[in-house]
Structure 1
């Protein structure tokens, strides 16, 4: 496999990476995470920084790597996308297109309501927030099936909540399904 990869041109590698991303975004994010960790580990002799190293920002939890997470109420919700700040899921253009765009969410709401014969939720922000959560899971993990749930990283949860806030600031949080 290494020989095949070494034989690829830069354009072929870019094509393969984008094809992988389109097929399964979560796989590519795991690859990027591994590359980030390998790059960090391979820096054996760090050169002096021209600027002082910034101290961790106030309010960023210790478990956060992307610098965009906030503290969460339960242990299971204390999850980061584990990307470097430039690759944080919540700051990606695709995240904004797929997860936060009101028109995309409106279509997803209509489709879901039609499929399960459910009347529309009259609370605009709540319905868009819940649909955005589903869109994120579908974008990153694909279709999971009934009762199979995934925890959404805090950075993405808060990006969604900031875009579609609850007026009282009260959120339910993650509720596990049949499989966890």
Structure 2
């Protein structure tokens, strides 16, 4: 099969068909485009990527976010330990979408995601979190040996991601807004006041 084609140079545009006239095979081989079967980013993912990239372009402004809340526009964020966690709900397109949906349905604007009744119902209601935790355990086939409030926090974070981002897939992590994380932590506190914070997945 390798003898069917003769190249006059290393440039693919110079490849010529052999004397057997197998032009259709040549066309089929050379019309294959790399990555043509890869899934495409959704508009939301593209927006998210732009935000992530723009936040990393200016290291000075990124470092300025740590330890203060000057970047917060909802007035409910708290100072976080890392730049990646120092995000306001108003900076997250997926969360803004939920807030806009609420505004359209009720003619009432929200100044922060933590004011959304859906946030309270999905992320702060212990009975909802208990059922959601059982569902996650069934899907993941793992049992977390955690204190009750830690289970609630862990599940509440997952609920917020599922509600606003949909199914992101295993090992795909989303940084949640400081205001939402703070509200969840205050509702289900750690007795020692020690929290893990955002961690990248172990691949």
Q: What's the TM-score bracket when you normalise by the shorter of the two chains?
A: 0.5 to 0.7
Matched residues in 2 for 1:68 and 1:171: separation? Answer: 18
Q: CA deviation at 1:140?
A: 0.8
Q: Which of 62, 72, 80 matches 2:80?
A: 72
Write the deviation string for residues 68-114 of structure 1: whole angstroms up to 9, x where unpaired. Answer: 00000000000001179933111111100011111110001111112
Counterpart of 1:23 in structure 2 is: none
Which structure 2 residues correspond to residues 13-162 of structure 1 after superposition, within 5 A? Answer: 61-82=69-90, 86-119=110-143, 121-162=145-186
Q: Which runs of 4+ in 1 moved over 4 A?
A: none
Structure of larger gyration radius: 2
Give the secondary-structure state (helix, strand or coil) at the position aligned to 1:75: coil
Check conservation: 1:60, 1:68, Cα contact below 8 A: no
Give the secondary-structure state (helix, strand or coil) at the position aligned to 2:89: coil
How many pairs are equivalent? 123
Q: Which of 196, 200, 203 matches 1:172?
A: 196
Give the secondary-structure state (helix, strand or coil) at the position aligned to 1:111: helix
Check conservation: 2:122, 2:128, Cα contact below 8 A: yes
Check conservation: 2:68, 2:80, Cα contact below 8 A: no
Structure 2, unaligned runs of 5 or more: 1-43, 48-66, 91-95, 100-108
